[in-house]
A and B are shown apart, each in its own frame.
Chain A
Amino acid sequence: MLGKKLTRREFFKVGGAAAAGAAGLLSAKEATAFTRPKTKRRMAMLIDLRRCFGCNACSVACKAQFDVPLGVWRSWVITTERGSYPSVKRQFLPVLCNHCENTPCLKGCPATAIVRDENSIVQQLEGQCVGCGYCIQTCPYKMRFRHPTKNVANKCNFCSERLDQGLEPACVNTCNAKARIFGDLNDPNSEVSKLIAKNPVKVLLPEQNTHPKVFYIGLDESMYKKRAAVPEGKV
């Protein structure tokens, strides 16, 4: 026998209160307003799509820089076609980690293996990553992947190793059309700040409220919206 009698009504009252409490606790963090993280520099990339002609040199430079294995990519160029013959237009959209300021992957990582450095670059700490893959799921841009040999999450880091040596990211350095511009948003005299101030720029998936730091000039959102989730037979 169990001592004090608990009526069915009391039981459901207690259970209901506990359930409501749990729901409130879990949803509270979603309601938190976004405040921009304060960092010494805010490195960002501007991609002028009017200049990009889809040569994919950036994708190859990135592959070479980080020895990215076959089948996975840190940066690539989405290609779309618009219209019908004879008036057909091909468009190119280079994509990479957006180094969001409201960062779902960083918030979700259970091992604090994702950090924002002093340049406001979202860094993956490979030595700390447990490879759970939650960051891969939370990235709305699908820019993360599991490194096939290291078995940890991987993504673009704006070539931090090159930045430390005073160099530009490999993709920026290699771009023939000078479509990629890289710089500090905190510095009003940087080229990237000036161009963003002068031109109407857009970001990918603004409705996700991630505050990306990869900006585009001449972005047609339908290019990204039409991005198929998965090609036929690849599941």
Chain B
Amino acid sequence: MESKVIYDIFHLVYWDWRIAMDLFLGGLGVGAFIYAICVMFYKKRDDLVSVKVGSVIGPVAMALGLLFMIFEMGQPLRMWKTLVRFNFTSTLSWGGILQEGFILFSAIFAFLLLTNRNKNMRRSLGIFAGIFAIFVAFYHGFLLSFVTARPLWNAGAVSIGLIVSSVNTGIAAVLLLTSFSKRGREEILDFNLTLRTVLPITLITQMATGFIWIVTLITGKSDFTNAYHLMNQHFGVLLWGGAILIGLILPFAILIMYGFGPRKDRPLPITLVCVPILIGAFIFRYVLILAGQIS
């Protein structure tokens, strides 16, 4: 016989858009930095515009994201307590250390790069900060999936989706800012691998993880199914229209239309590819954070 709840208490959603912004900017920062380091090693040059842009975006975006998170906290002035009262079993504690380490090392790297100082140390520092960036990307991916109480966050593929989305948004941000300068546009034209291979692969991977995530929710336990229906009921338009259509399908379609890369005779509208990726990634995190808390 069916039971129907007729009275219960619901404490309102706690994390709001600021946490989504923290995850978005943090992911974007580490993605941009990892991309910059990859380009630096692949092209064996560190005087490229995209390398400089990526290495600056990294610490700046991460720090901005942390600011959003701090403003969301109930007691922001007690933030220092997370350092002195470190909890070894807390994902957040480790994440805090990783993020602070990333900001520190990537900022020093960016400073040395922009001022063209200490080339040998710069290279090692770049690798070191890059490793921090990879760990932070994983932290962002797994922070939510460790919360077994929230089926929407706990469904396997979401962590991989967040990691891939970090790389996507990082690349999109670097390409967008790089394309504002003439030298940057020439670089993009010259270095076609990103638009021809890397970005399409990350977009397809994200679509695949999104598909797995939704299938897991639909076919999973009743908690998962309920969570999926609640998400669709309250955030369906944002999820399907914003995160998936604008954030994934639209940029991928534009890449296909332009043959996966710019040519001299047909310049690819970088803004049309990158801006939807950024908007979609933020919407994805927004939906994930808010819908996750009502399930």
Chain A contact residues, CB within 8 Å of chain B: 1-3, 5-6, 8, 11, 15, 18-19, 22-23, 26-27, 29-30, 71-73, 76-83, 90-91, 104, 107-113, 128-134, 136-140, 142, 144-146, 150-153, 208, 220, 222-223, 225-231, 234-235
- Choose one: B14, B72, B75; the contact of A137 (CB below 8 Å): B14
- Choose one: B5, B69, B120; the contact of A78 (CB below 8 Å): B5
- Choose one: B14, B73, B82, B290; the contact of A235 (CB below 8 Å): B290
Q: What residues of chain B lie closer than 8 Å to A8, measured between beta carbons? A: 42
Please name 13 pairs of A and B residues whose Cβ atoms are closer than 8 Å in the assembled complex, sorted by A: A2-B44, A15-B134, A18-B134, A78-B5, A104-B149, A107-B90, A108-B90, A111-B85, A128-B81, A137-B15, A145-B11, A225-B222, A229-B226
**Is the Cβ of A133 less than 8 Å from the Cβ of B15?**
yes
Q: How far is the CB of B95 from the nearest CB of chain A, in Å?
A: 8
**Is the Cβ of B8 less than 8 Å from the Cβ of A151?**
no
**Is the Cβ of B150 less than 8 Å from the Cβ of A137?**
yes
Closest A residue by C-beta to B153 = A137
CA distance A72 to B135 in the complex (A): 37
- Choose one: A23, A26, A235; the contact of B234 (CB below 8 Å): A235
**Is the Cβ of A112 less than 8 Å from the Cβ of B85?**
yes
Confirm or deny: B264 has a beta carbon within 8 angstroms of a beta carbon on chain A: no
B34-71 to A contact mask, C-beta < 8 Å, 1/0: 00001011101110000000000000000000000100
Q: What residues of chain A lie closer than 8 Å to B210, measured between beta carbons? A: none
Instruction: Assess A137 versus B74: contact at CB under 8 Å? Given A26-B138, A79-B5, A222-B3.
Output: no
Given contacts A110-B93, A112-B85, 11 further A-B pairs with CB under 8 A are A1-B45, A3-B120, A78-B8, A83-B1, A104-B148, A107-B87, A133-B14, A142-B10, A145-B11, A226-B3, A227-B8
CA distance A229 to B152 in the complex (A): 12
CA distance A128 to B96 in the complex (A): 17
**Is the Cβ of B13 less than 8 Å from the Cβ of A235?**
yes
- Choose one: A83, A108, A231; the contact of B92 (CB below 8 Å): A108
CA distance A11 to B134 in the complex (A): 14
Q: What residues of chain A lie closer than 8 Å to B292, measured between beta carbons? A: 137
**Is the Cβ of A111 less than 8 Å from the Cβ of B82?**
yes
Q: How far is the CB of A95 from the nearest CB of chain B, in Å?
A: 8
CA distance A109 to B2 in the complex (A): 37
Q: What residues of chain B lie closer than 8 Å to A112, measured between beta carbons? A: 85-87
State which of B104-112, B139-147, B183-191, B251-259 sits at the interface with chain A: B139-147
Instruction: Assess A140 versus B294: contact at CB under 8 Å? Given A79-B6, A152-B75.
Output: no
CA distance A79 to B7 in the complex (A): 5
**Is the Cβ of B146 less than 8 Å from the Cβ of A30?**
yes
Closest A residue by C-beta to B98 = A22
**Is the Cβ of B147 less than 8 Å from the Cβ of A138?**
yes
**Is the Cβ of A26 less than 8 Å from the Cβ of B12?**
no
CA distance A152 to B1 in the complex (A): 41
CA distance A107 to B149 in the complex (A): 14
**Is the Cβ of B139 less than 8 Å from the Cβ of A26?**
yes
CA distance A235 to B295 in the complex (A): 11
**Is the Cβ of A109 less than 8 Å from the Cβ of B74?**
no
Q: How far is the CB of B192 from the nearest CB of chain A, in Å?
A: 15
Closest 5 CB pairs of A and B: A131-B74, A151-B74, A110-B92, A140-B149, A79-B7
CA distance A19 to B82 in the complex (A): 26
- Choose one: A5, A22, A73; the contact of B44 (CB below 8 Å): A5
Confirm or deny: B227 has a beta carbon within 8 angstroms of a beta carbon on chain A: yes
Q: What residues of chain B lie closer than 8 Å to A22, measured between beta carbons? A: 134-135, 138
Q: What residues of chain A lie closer than 8 Å to B42, measured between beta carbons? A: 8, 11
CA distance A180 to B5 in the complex (A): 22
Closest B residue by C-beta to A77 = B7
Q: What residues of chain B lie closer than 8 Å to A130, measured between beta carbons? A: 73-76, 78-79, 81-82
**Is the Cβ of A230 less than 8 Å from the Cβ of B149?**
no
Closest B residue by C-beta to A208 = B148
CA distance A78 to B4 in the complex (A): 11
Instruction: Assess A19 versus B91: contact at CB under 8 Å? Given A226-B4, A234-B10.
Output: no
